[in-house]
Structure 1
Amino acid sequence: MIVDLPNTTISKVSKQIIQIREQGGVVALGRVLTLVIETDFEGIEPAIKAANDASREHPCRIIVLADDNSNSAQNAKLDAQIRVGGDAGASEVIVLRAFGEAASDPESLVTGLLLPDAPVVAWWPDEAPAKAADSAIGRIATRRITDAASQKDPHAFLTQLANTYTPGDSDFAWTRLTPWREQLATILDQPPYDKVLGVEVTGPVDSPSVDLLAAWLGIQLGVEVNLIRTPADDQKHGLVGVKLKRASGDIEIVRNEPGVATLIQPSQPTREISLPRRSLRDCLMEDLRRLDPDEIFGKIVTRSFKETTPRPTVTAERKATN
């Protein structure tokens, strides 16, 4: 069910939601949080699709706030759309399209639509504010999710994030690493338990996840990490490989095709493991599972990406093997 409310107000939107609930019982209660998404008009549908899928695990109210990037007072207006039932997954979706001056105060647009006594999560799938915690929407959020890979300069954004980090900040560049971190932790939990002497991380020059994985390994293992850059990742296959150097023989995970990686270990047969690149839905579902600050992410980003922090050794680009 989709209800369009052109040239409306937040008060009218709120009343319409109550009316839908009273008339049809379509909007179920029991939402666990409010997810506020800030994007532009082009980003509305991809963000809603990911949020709807994630809502099947985390029932929530989704508020999508999009503006036309215009400051024209002449065209100032607010168009709204309410989606419930089959058009909203396990959530209820409120889309706010703000034009001109109507977009000048994002906080006032969403405050009247927040679920009472429920945590607020803010997500910027595209361009993120300079300091998420101080932005209009970030100030009312318990968790703030950005995506360094969607920024104009992903590496500069990591530095910016390190210098402005506030507990509760999170980034999909880190969330995409969960399968890699799990695989590496599992490998190191197996005998012969040799000390790792050095690490090589290989991946696209434009991938902030490569930098974060290198930083995590360097801090956790206390070793030097050598970054090997491949050309920019047009097809978004992500990380290419990790090599752990040990006296008993190197361990290597190499992903030369999407979704599948090769695990090479001394004295063991080479085998393939599932290592797909994570979708927006997967990343969002994981970040919504915890509303407390991610202390590990906070430590990694603040200790490794501030302007005065030494960077891992970078080897010149090489051609991708896939």
Structure 2
Amino acid sequence: MIGLWDTTGIEVVKALANERRSAGGLTSGLALTLISVVDERQVREAEAAATIAASAHPCRLLIIVRADVTQQRSRLDAEIVVGGRLGPCEAVVMRMQGRLALHAESVVMPLLAPDVPVVTWWQCTPPDRIAYDPLGVVADRRITDSAQADDPVAALRVRSDDYVPGDTDLAWSRITPWRTLLAGAFDGNRVGVRSATIVAPEHDPTALLMGGWLEARLGVHPARRTGTSRIMEAVELEFEDGDAMSLVRDLNAGIVRLRRTGQPDRILPLTRRPLGDELAEELRRLDPDQPYAAALAAATGKRKLDEHTAPRVHIWKDPALAERPEPADTPLQETVAS
């Protein structure tokens, strides 16, 4: 590892090139550039997740940690790791303070690996408008995590307002095991679904997307019932012939019980995957995720999301302005009573 303290972007580029030569790294072996925007407390979590994802998708990992943008003096600290503890990836962790944090792209752009796609991943509160962040505009694919927001369901609705093809959310990856089991349970079934119910916490974004997916695929609007745990517990379906089917999670054993009228119960595995596996799943495809767009549209009432314009244009918005107090109204002349 190489540490550069109070450095410049040019020095980071030079140090990365030197470290790659020393480690024998080959740019042609990289599948993509992964830009990760994280909070300071989540740097190690992002590194661990990227290590798992890089085992399937060798990448150049650029982790951006933004500090107080209102500081008078800008500062850049960087750590460079090629291979080693982070697996088959070239990693640069950059901590930016002051106004430099508002222009992270000026440091990131020269570090992008040539001739490979760019993916930006926010492992922090998702932005309201990705177009405000040039790190999102430059990316071919953009990964947010609505679960990081104070109100995850509201954040997912913001994603539908701001959606363009290439956007996705890790809440969608988290229901992949559920979708796989439900799709498998429908093998050989030729009876339509009359109604559906999802048992989950009130502010669970995965349940919202699960409901959208069921509505997009089956044409029924699922009802919601609040469960007793902090994660989705069950999906219940009623068929047009009166039969019923349900997937009920065992909260302690990492399994679900598949129940269907007239058939014996089946036990199926459903373990909670680590963040790195969810990230690796999203990196498998760099084209627009149409099933996600359909589920998000149905869940939020937005239609034809996949027809939104794909290119993004950077819209400059200075976050520091919100930190400055508004000037007080002062009279032109003051009368002093004696």
* TM beyond 0.5: yes
Q: CA–CA distance in 1 between the matches of 2:23 and 2:184?
A: 50
Which of 233, 242, 248 is residue 240 of structure 1 equivalent to? Answer: 233
- Give, as a single letter, the amino acid of the residue that structure 1 aligns with 2:182: L
- In the superposition, relative to structure 1, how do residues 24 and 296 fare at CA in structure 2: closer, same or farther (>3 Å)? closer
Q: CA–CA distance in 1 between the matches of 2:302 and 2:28?
A: 46
SS at match of 2:79: strand
What's the RMSD between the two structures over aligned residues? 1.7
TM-score by length of 2: 0.85
- Give, as a single letter, the amino acid of the residue that structure 1 aligns with 2:89: S
Return the offset for 1:219.
2.2
Q: CA–CA distance in 2 between the matches of 1:37 and 1:133?
A: 16
- Give, as a single letter, the amino acid of the residue that structure 1 aligns with 2:71: S
Q: Identical aligned pairs, as a percentage?
A: 35
Return the offset for 1:28.
6.5
Gaps of 5+ in 1: 309-322
Are 1:104 and 2:102 counterparts?
A: yes
Q: CA–CA distance in 1 between the matches of 2:249 and 2:261?
A: 18
Are 1:57 and 2:59 counterparts?
A: no
Q: How does 1:80-95 map to 2 (within 5 A)?
A: 80-95=78-93
> In structure 1, what is the equivalent of residue 263 of structure 2?
268
Contact 2:213–2:294 (8 Å) recurs in 1:
no
Return the offset for 1:26.
5.1
Q: CA–CA distance in 1 between the matches of 2:289 and 2:238?
A: 29
Deviations, residues 297-316 of structure 1 (Å, cap 9, x unaligned): 112213431489xxxxxxxx
> In structure 1, what is the equivalent of residue 165 of structure 2?
167
Deviations, residues 263-317 of structure 1 (Å, cap 9, x unaligned): 1112221121101123211110100000001011112213431489xxxxxxxxx
Contact 1:205–1:232 (8 Å) recurs in 2:
no
Are 1:194 and 2:191 counterparts?
A: yes
Contact 2:177–2:270 (8 Å) recurs in 1:
yes
Contact 2:69–2:102 (8 Å) recurs in 1:
no
Are 1:220 and 2:217 counterparts?
A: yes
Moved more, 59-68 or 157-166: 157-166
Q: CA–CA distance in 1 between the matches of 2:215 and 2:53?
A: 32
Q: CA–CA distance in 2 between the matches of 1:166 and 1:28?
A: 30
Deviations, residues 223-263 of structure 1 (Å, cap 9, x unaligned): 23111122561xxxx21000110225211100031421111
Contact 1:148–1:154 (8 Å) recurs in 2:
yes
> In structure 2, what is the equivalent of residue 42 of structure 1?
41
Q: How does 1:1-322 map to 2 (within 5 A)?
A: 2-25=1-24, 29-74=28-73, 76-191=74-189, 193-231=190-228, 233=230, 238-246=231-239, 247-258=241-252, 259-306=254-301
Return the offset for 1:132.
2.1
Q: CA–CA distance in 2 between the matches of 1:52 and 1:40?
A: 18
Deviations, residues 78-99 of structure 1 (Å, cap 9, x unaligned): 0000012222211011000011
SS at match of 1:149: helix
SS at match of 1:110: helix
Which structure has the bigger radius of gyration?
A: 2
Return the offset for 1:123.
0.2
Deviations, residues 180-234 of structure 1 (Å, cap 9, x unaligned): 111111111224x22111101111122100011011112211123111122561x
Q: CA–CA distance in 1 between the matches of 2:28 and 2:128?
A: 35
Contact 2:168–2:289 (8 Å) recurs in 1:
yes
Moved more, 216-225 or 175-184: 216-225
Q: CA–CA distance in 1 between the matches of 2:302 and 2:164?
A: 17
Moved more, 244-253 or 111-120: 244-253
TM-score by length of 1: 0.89
Deviations, residues 49-73 of structure 1 (Å, cap 9, x unaligned): 1011110000000000001234111
